[in-house]
């Protein structure tokens, strides 16, 4: 980082020992202007976003990351790219990846995959996204917050999103709206309680 408070993404991922294309993309998605730099807040937000993903929503996160035109589908070629990028330098001799890639090549599904199809594929090959989960564990460890604290944040996020994946920007909007609604609800609760007490007082007066 320099005096501007900006962090070079490539220096950041190197410092965090994150060298795969997928790992770089996780941080680059917060580089709104494409400058190759993110500020400290964006770096923290990127780490929080990734560390609060569950096993299911991490798969959806990866899908969304590569669905660049946001049409809800990925081609077979794009699915292969996801897997190659997730494994990085490990892809050359990885048996799990090799088997999955061979199945993709032999698959009759030459058309596009939607998210449910990708879920089914990852369930059939349960360890195929392992490097992505290992990255999450590494980031959680670096943060020094502790796995238990991250698990609580993950559960809270899933609860607010009703088990589905929402990009962090949409989630924060949802969370802000939830907190606003809670704030609005508190005065109403107090008003109801006050009204109930006033009713009791009126009944006491009438009973005299």
- List, for residues 134-188, the tens digit of each pLDDT value: 889 988 988 888 889 999 999 999 988 888 888 888 888 877 775 444 444 444 4
Q: Are strands 113-114 and 73-74 parallel, antiparallel or unpaired?
A: antiparallel
- List, for residues 93-104, the tens digit of each pLDDT value: 888 898 898 888
Residue percentage of the chain with pLDDT more than 70: 80
For residue 3, pLDDT beyond 90: no
**What are the φ/ψ torsions at residue 29 (nearest 5 degrees)?**
-65, -15
Please state the length of the chain.
208
Q: Could you give the 3-state DSSP secondary structure of residue 7? A: strand
According to DSSP H, which parts of 107-167 are helical? 115-124, 130-143, 147-160
Yes or no: say if 100 and 129 are a contact pair by the CB < 8 Å rule.
no
Q: Name the band, by pLDDT with cuts 50, 70 and 90, for residue 206.
A: very low
Q: Name the band, by pLDDT with cuts 50, 70 and 90, for residue 2.
A: low
The span from the CA of 17 to the CA of 12, in Å, is 8
Yes or no: say if 92 and 63 are a contact pair by the CB < 8 Å rule.
no
| 142 CB-near residues (< 8 Å, 6+ apart) | 16, 47
Q: How far is CA 83 from CA 25, 34, 118, in A?
A: 13, 24, 11
């Amino acid at each position: 980082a320099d005096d501007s408070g900006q962090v070079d993404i490539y220096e950041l991922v190197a410092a965090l020992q994150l060298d795969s294309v997928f790992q770089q993309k996780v941080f680059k998605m917060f580089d709104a202007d494409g400058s190759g730099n993110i500020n400290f807040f964006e770096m923290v937000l990127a780490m929080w976003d990734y560390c609060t993903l569950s096993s299911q929503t991490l798969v959806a996160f990866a899908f969304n990351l590569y669905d660049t035109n946001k049409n809800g589908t990925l081609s077979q070629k794009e699915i292969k790219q996801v897997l190659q990028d997730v494994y990085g330098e490990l892809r050359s001799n990885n048996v799990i990846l090799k088997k999955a890639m061979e199945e993709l090549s032999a698959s009759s599904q030459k058309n596009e995959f939607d998210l449910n199809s990708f879920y089914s594929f990852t369930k059939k090959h349960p360890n195929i996204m392992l490097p992505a989960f290992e990255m999450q564990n590494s980031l959680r460890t670096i943060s020094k917050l502790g796995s238990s604290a991250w698990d609580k944040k993950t559960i809270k996020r899933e609860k607010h999103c009703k088990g589905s994946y929402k990009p962090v920007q949409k989630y924060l909007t949802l969370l802000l709206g939830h907190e606003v609604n809670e704030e609005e609800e508190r005065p109403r609760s107090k008003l109801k309680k006050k009204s109930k007490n006033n009713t009791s007082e009126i009944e006491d007066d009438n009973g005299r």
